[in-house]
Amino acid sequence: MDKRAPFPVSRRSMLAGAAVVAAAPVVVASATGSTASAVQGRVRRVTIYAEALPNNQFGYGLAPGEATIPGPLLEIYEGDTLEIELVNTTNQRLSIHPHGVNYDTASDGAPLNGSFNEPGQTRTYIWRTQTQYKASGGFYMPGSAGYWHYHDHAMGTSHGTAGVARGLYGGLIVRRRGDLLPDRQFTVVFNEMTINNKVAPDTPMFEARHGERVEFVCIGHGNLPHTFHLHAHRWADTRTGMLRGENDHANVVDNKNLDPGSSFGFQVLAGEAVGPGAWMYHCHVQSHSDTGMAGIFLVRNADGTMPAGAQEAIDRFHGHDHGGHAATEPAAATAPHTAHGGH
């Protein structure tokens, strides 16, 4: 932890914290069955505890009593294997199911394949990753690098609908070696009409210092479409959020769709070209932001002190009536939507 900071640095649970327990070759095969060149990968092991939380919610944690919503941000490099020992301390059936990585049916996390934890049960799930490789016909198979996520797939229904609704989800990053690593990391989950299962003004306030490299992992859950918007910051719509060179003309955005089951991530320099301040992040579906899908990205001064005007902005946010706008909208503003059947 940065002892100068008045707030904690995000926990780098995989890349920096977990011990490497074994080395193993990872072999991938092309679509025609021929074996591609092997890469050397590492096996990393982690124990995750699924626990009941107050208000009928649930979370994943790296130690007993440390469950959070979202769960820990897991990170590995392409070619690595992650072995997760999931300890179910609850009285509910649950599991852990990943996006973006390789696994067999026993590690699917879905009742369809009998892959779940009964109440009180411990079970190991194995997730593998691969690097890009050349397939037949001059084509290339993609690697696993990307911003992914994991979630329950067994509580309540065979799709884990209750588990996801109650907080059993988290971020998963698969990096390529050589990727830039951030100073701080934040996971943002739009789940129905909540952010990380909270509604403004109780949504997370993410904090960084001016100039720090900040990584956002954005995840969608539930049944509703959303868009993620970050004030005063923008990123390239690429795997990392960064451009690959001076001739990279990738689209640059500050707002991106975040539908259920989708995820993306990006890095920005906090306050670059705009300075420190209390900057808003929110869903840009207007009725969603009005009713509480909004939060604050606080960029402090480089020395960690509060920038001018930031505390006043935070106070205004905490005093804001997030549900009080619909009644004051002009009738003309809603007429086009009514004519098309509403939203």
pLDDT tens digits along 126-182: 999 999 999 999 999 999 999 999 999 999 999 999 999 999 999 999 999 999 999
User: How big is the CA angle at 206 (ends 190 and 48), to the nearest 5 degrees?
Assistant: 65
Secondary structure letter of residue 259 according to DSSP: -
Q: Over 50: is that where the pLDDT of 260 sits?
A: yes
What does the pLDDT look like over 66-104, one tens digit per residue? 999 999 999 999 999 999 999 999 999 999 999 999 999
Q: How confident is the model at residue 34 (pLDDT cuts 50, 70, 90)?
A: very low
CA distances from 60 to 48, 169, 317 (A): 6, 7, 29
Q: Quick one: pLDDT at residue 13? A: 47
What whole-number distance in Å separates Cα of residue 43 and Cα of residue 83? 7
The dihedral formed by the CA atoms of 220, 91, 46 and 221, expressed in degrees to the nearest 10 = 0
Where b means 16+ CB within 10 Å and e means fewer, 126-136 reads: bbbbbbbbebe
Query: For residues 268 and 233, is the Cβ–Cβ distance under 8 A?
Result: yes
Q: What is the pLDDT of residue 25?
A: 40
* pLDDT band, very low/low/confident/very high, at 41 (cuts 50, 70, 90): confident
> Is the dihedral angle over the CA atoms 97, 103, 106, 111 positive or is it negative?
positive
Nearest Cα neighbor of 174 from 108, 38, 82, 40 is 82
| Structural domains of the chain in order of their starting residue, each with its CATH number | 1-178 (2.60.40.420), 180-327 (2.60.40.420)
Amino acid making up residue 162: A
CA 29-131-48 angle, to 5 degrees, is 105
